[in-house]
Structure 1
Amino acid sequence: MKILLPVDGSELSLEAVRHALRLRADGLLISAVLANVQEPASLYELLVAHDPEMIDRVSAEAGMDALSTAMGLLDADGVDYECEVAKGDPAHTLIDICERFGCEMIVMGARGASAARSAMLGSVSNEVLHASGVPVVIVKPPQEEEGS
């Protein structure tokens, strides 16, 4: 099964990678697509940099840097994977990547926002969940122990 693993470098996105590895340990044969979506350059960045190619290069390097820890986790477990760094609206870009690579599942982290806040602002994971044509597993942050 080919799984899309969106990674932004956060601990929660890496926990989603670990979740996919646990699915593998439980017997699911997987390959992965590690994806990082960079924000498009702002007008200010374009005006200051004067070099759109340099901005694209820096953006691609930042995306690969964000994927590096996840790549190490997959390498250590012997999982075949591909990497994609893209620019654009995160949710729609992730759905596009999922479709282009033929992924059969998405495993991604969720922010710990409250339900009301999530409904007001919308989150990438919520948008992906509703727009995806494949199953989406949303890995939530671990619950803190009571009394901690």
Structure 2
Amino acid sequence: MKILLPLDGSEVSLQAVRQVIRLVRQGLQASVVVANVQEPAHLYEMVMAADTALIARASAQAGAKALKAGEALLRHAGIAYVSEVAVGDPAHTLIDIVERFGCDMVVMGARDKGSLRSALLGSVSHEVLHAAQVPVMLIKPSEQAEEQDNAQDAGA
């Protein structure tokens, strides 16, 4: 079985990694695709950048940084994985990755940002859940994960 693990650097995404590790330790034969999707540069950033390649490098570096902790957990657990950093609309790009890599399942963290915000903006996990043609396991954040992620959001 091949599992897509979207990672954004949040604690809840690391909880998803830990869930996959638990499943493998319980006997699931799986390999993993860890993925991070960076939003495309905005027109302002493209106009103001002296070197558009600089934007691409910064995006790739941000994606690699978001994957780093999850990759370390998988490596320590001895689970085979490949990494993918992509640019685009996160939900649609994740669905493309599922198809391109032939993933059988998606395991991802779901941040609860409130029902009104989700209704107005949608969420990546909600979109993937409804668009994927494979099973999707959503990992809800623990209280500790929510506190850590809220602290990260406040510092960003």
TM-score, normalised with respect to structure 1: 0.92
Q: Which residue of 1 aligns with 2:25?
A: 25
Partner of 2:107: 107
One-letter amino acid of the structure 2 residue matched with residue 96 of structure 1: D
Aligned to 1:91: 91
Match of 1:48 in 2: 48
AA matched with 2:64: M
SS of the equivalent of 2:107 reads strand
Query: RMSD of aligned C-alpha atoms?
Result: 1.2
Give me the whole-angstrom Cα distance separating, in 2, the residues matched to 1:137 and 1:8: 16
Corresponding residue number in structure 1 for 2:131: 131
Q: Indicate the residue corresponding to 2:58 in structure 1.
A: 58
The Cα of 1:57 is off from its aligned counterpart by: 1.0
1:119 deviates by 2.6
Which residue in 2 is equivalent to 1:82? 82
For residues 74 and 121 of structure 2, what CA distance do their matches in structure 1 show?
32
3-state secondary structure, aligned to 1:128:
helix
In structure 2, the residue matched to 1:37 is 37
Q: Which moved more, 1:6-15 or 1:47-56?
A: 47-56
Tell me by how many angstroms 1:132 deviates: 0.1
- What's the CA shift for 1:58? 1.1
Q: CA 1:54/1:117 → structure 2, altered by over 3 Å: closer, same or farther?
A: closer
* More off after superposition, 32-41 vs 118-127: 118-127
Q: Which runs of 4+ in 1 moved over 3 A?
A: 114-117
SS of equivalent residue, structure 1 residue 107:
strand
**Which blocks of at least 5 consecutive residues in structure 1 are unaligned?**
none
Q: Sequence identity, in percent?
A: 60
Please, which runs of 5 or more residues in structure 2 have no aligned partner?
145-156
Letter in 2 for 1:139: I
Q: Give the drift of 1:141.
A: 1.0
Please identify which structure carries the higher helix content. 2
- Residue type of the partner of 1:26? Q
